[in-house]
């Protein structure tokens, strides 16, 4: 299998299938609502000029919807306990008030057979940050232990109360003997 995450206030599943697309399904009808291409923009030098290059990010795997403001999954407002839909008076929402996603909400995903977790903008599909976990459980040690790839991410449930401490995750992999508790810092928006 690949990955799936749920956003209750929009009643949508975000699903990965190993391609560079996230499919968004209606949770009741399971109808496909849209597909979001996941892209990584990088700067490259071409003929002495710095330019941007857009790359598809294939092998998107495990998914988690997160809110970097609260440290949670973006489903509840930390003050009221109500589902976290943006409103016109919410200063943390996007300038586009039709967006159901707060500015601090992202989809975290691991990339199959890489020791990376990427932070994906839930509407544009842009990879905004790459977290490198090569040193967490080095491949040489995994080979000795008979362990395989990084393949598990899950929120710990610890909320940060709106500070800028980021989100706390459990990270593990196929046949890994341990789970690692890590904190990812919020990236600049």
Bigger pLDDT: 120 vs 97: 120
Rg (CA), the chain: 17
Distance CA 138, CA 7 (A): 33
Residue with tokens 């919020």: 186
Q: Tell me, rounded to whole angstroms, the distance of Cα 76 from its chain centroid.
A: 17
The dihedral sign for the CA sequence 97, 161, 83, 29: positive
Judged by average pLDDT, the poorest of 19-33, 93-107, 173-187 is 93-107
* pLDDT tens sequence across 127-180: 999 999 999 999 999 999 999 999 889 888 776 655 557 788 999 999 999 999
Taking 80 as the threshold, does the pLDDT of residue 13 lie above it? yes
Helix (H) or strand (E) holding 131: strand 127-132
Whether residue 140 contacts residue 147, with contact meaning beta carbons closer than 8 Å, is answered with: no
Distance CA 32, CA 151 (A): 26
What is the 8-class DSSP label of residue 57?
-
What is the model's pTM?
0.81
């Amino acid at each position: 299998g690949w990955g799936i995450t749920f956003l209750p206030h929009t009643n949508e599943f975000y699903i990965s299938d190993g391609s560079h697309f996230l499919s968004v399904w209606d949770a009741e009808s399971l109808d496909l609502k849209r597909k979001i291409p996941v892209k990584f923009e990088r700067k490259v030098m071409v003929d002495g000029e710095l330019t941007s290059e857009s790359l598809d990010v294939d092998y998107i795997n495990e998914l988690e919807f997160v809110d970097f403001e609260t440290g949670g999954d973006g489903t509840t407002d930390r003050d009221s306990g109500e589902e976290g839909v943006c409103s016109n008076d919410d200063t943390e929402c996007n300038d586009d008030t039709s967006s159901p996603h707060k500015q601090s909400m992202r989809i975290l995903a691991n990339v199959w057979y890489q020791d990376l977790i990427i932070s994906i903008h839930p509407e544009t599909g842009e990879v905004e940050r790459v977290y490198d976990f090569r040193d967490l459980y080095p491949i040489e040690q995994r080979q000795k232990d008979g362990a395989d790839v990084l393949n598990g991410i899950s929120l710990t449930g610890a909320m940060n109360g709106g500070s800028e401490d980021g989100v706390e995750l459990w990270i593990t992999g196929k046949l890994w003997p341990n789970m690692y508790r890590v904190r990812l810092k919020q990236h600049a928006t």
